[in-house]
Amino acid sequence: MSVYRPLVQSDPTRPAGAVLLAGGPLWFTHAERLTRGSRPELVTAAEIPPEPLARLSASRAPIAGVTFDAPRLMGILNVTPDSFSDGGLHHEPTDALIAAREMMERGADILDIGGESTRPGALEVPVNQEIQRVLPVIGAIGAELSIPLSIDTRKAAVAEIALAGGAALVNDVAGFTFDPDLAPLCARLGAPVCVMHALGDPTTMQHDPRYDDVVLDVYDFLQARIDALVEAGVARDQIIVDPGIGFGKTIAHNLTLLHNVSVFHGLGCPVLLGVSRKRFIGVIGHAPIAAERAPGSIAVGLAALAQGVQILRVHDVAATAQALRLWRAVRDNKEK
């Protein structure tokens, strides 16, 4: 089976035969056909079979009230003592609320609340402790701010309480493979989901990860998880996909996925990407301190947006939003 990586363009003047990517405004006339064990082949859009072409081009439905006619930012709010870059900063609901308000005012479209670090080597947090961390924060933000909240959890018990408390999306870094009750719960409650690829669990995932073909392996995993979620009753148009940068991946794996990221549009879902402050940014960008990795994170994020990625998950909302405004102004030759 082949998959198609659209070669995405953005100029307002489009040639005849250009196909809108995910409903526009980006478009493509050619794609790379990727097949296991073969070299990529350049094909025209007209050579892509109807089914994959329809998935590449269809508009994406809004999810949790967020539309995908423009790039969106998901602000990260970790309510953990040990997250790799913002651990311990937002432990108290009042601190989390201040951070949430600032992210919202500075350009976040959605906030992702997490009570369990999934950095490499992290240990599992007991359900009750995870709930005690996230629930007061979700309550405090929901009472004051009007912004969709995502719960970053692998566990049905945590998701259930977070959704009842006002969260609007379930973001599972284990791709709904950790807790068999999570997908049926989301289906029952009609909750949208973000399904991310990870190889192994956080405790061991960076111990020599290997792939047959990293792009196609991650693609096939996400395709299988979409099928399983739909089978469990989750609406297909309420699924976001994420290749899971840094989760069981070497730097070379991360770079290959990022270089080819537009291939994931072939899954027919909005694509979310989390590169913010991750280790490869520090290594390639010569920035050993995680909090100093905004420039590299933004550079990688903008490159992904140029390939049509719909949502960036970021720590540095204000800096990313500023970069995004300028990037779009120049791309579209328009001040606003």
Where do the DSSP E strands lie in 100-180?
110-114, 149-152, 169-172
Using CB under 6 A as the binding rule, whether residue 83 contacts ligand HH2 is answered as yes
Q: Using the rule CB under 6 A, which residue among 160, 242, 253, 282 binds ligand HH2?
A: 242
Q: Using the rule CB under 6 A, which residue among 196, 261, 269, 298 binds ligand HH2?
A: 196
283-306 b/e (C-beta count within 10 Å ≥ 16 → b): eebebeebeebbebbbebbbebbb
Active-site position among 5, 154, 155, 313: 313
| Nearest CB to ligand HH2, comparing residues 30 and 225 | 225
278 is catalytic: yes
Write the binding mask 200 to 239 for ligand HH2: x where contact by CB under 6 A, - elsewhere.
----------------------------------------
Q: Which residues fall within 8 angstroms of residue 31, CB to CB, at 6 or more apart?
A: 4, 5, 6, 7, 42, 43, 45, 48, 56
- The number of beta carbons lying within 10 Å of the beta carbon of residue 38 is 9
Using CB under 6 A as the binding rule, whether residue 321 contacts ligand HH2 is answered as no
State the minimum distance, in angstroms, from the CB of residue 274 to ligand HH2: 2
Return contacts of 30-35, CB within 8 angstroms, 24+ apart: 30/6, 31/4, 31/5, 31/6, 31/7, 31/56, 32/4, 32/5, 32/7, 33/2, 33/3, 33/4, 34/2, 34/3, 34/4, 34/5, 34/215, 34/216, 34/260, 34/263, 35/1, 35/2
Q: Using the rule CB under 6 A, which residue among 111, 226, 241, 245 binds ligand HH2?
A: 245
Using CB under 6 A as the binding rule, whether residue 80 contacts ligand HH2 is answered as yes
Please state, in angstroms and rounded to a whole number, the distance separating the CA atoms of residues 205 and 246.
9
Please state, in angstroms and rounded to a whole number, the distance separating the CA atoms of residues 193 and 195.
6
Q: Using an 8 Å Cβ cutoff, are 281 and 273 in contact?
A: no
Question: Which residue number has the CB closest to ligand HH2?
Answer: 274
Using CB under 6 A as the binding rule, whether residue 162 contacts ligand HH2 is answered as no
Q: Which residues fall within 8 angstroms of residue 298, CB to CB, at 6 or more apart?
A: 316, 319, 320, 323
- Span of 82-90, 159-167, 181-189, 230-238 interacting with ligand HH2 by CB under 6 A: 82-90
Active-site position among 133, 277, 278, 293: 278
State the minimum distance, in angstroms, from the CB of residue 11 to ligand HH2: 30
- Ranges within 96-115 binding ligand HH2 (CB under 6 A): 114
Write down how long the chain is: 336
249 is catalytic: no
Provide the phi-psi class of 24: left if phi over 0, else alpha when psi is between -120 and 50, else beta: left
Using CB under 6 A as the binding rule, whether residue 117 contacts ligand HH2 is answered as yes
State the minimum distance, in angstroms, from the CB of residue 92 to ligand HH2: 17
State the minimum distance, in angstroms, from the CB of residue 87 to ligand HH2: 7
Using CB under 6 A as the binding rule, whether residue 171 contacts ligand HH2 is answered as yes
State the minimum distance, in angstroms, from the CB of residue 228 to ligand HH2: 17
| Nearest CB to ligand HH2, comparing residues 45 and 267 | 267
Provide the phi-psi class of 111: left if phi over 0, else alpha when psi is between -120 and 50, else beta: beta
| Nearest CB to ligand HH2, comparing residues 117 and 260 | 117
> What are the phi and psi torsion angles at 69 (to 5°)?
-80, -5
| Nearest CB to ligand HH2, comparing residues 45 and 290 | 290
| Nearest CB to ligand HH2, comparing residues 93 and 244 | 244
Write out the catalytic residue numbers.
Answer: 278, 313
Binding region for ligand HH2 (CB under 6 A): 76, 78, 80, 83-85, 114, 117-119, 152, 171, 173, 194, 196, 242, 244-245, 272, 274, 313
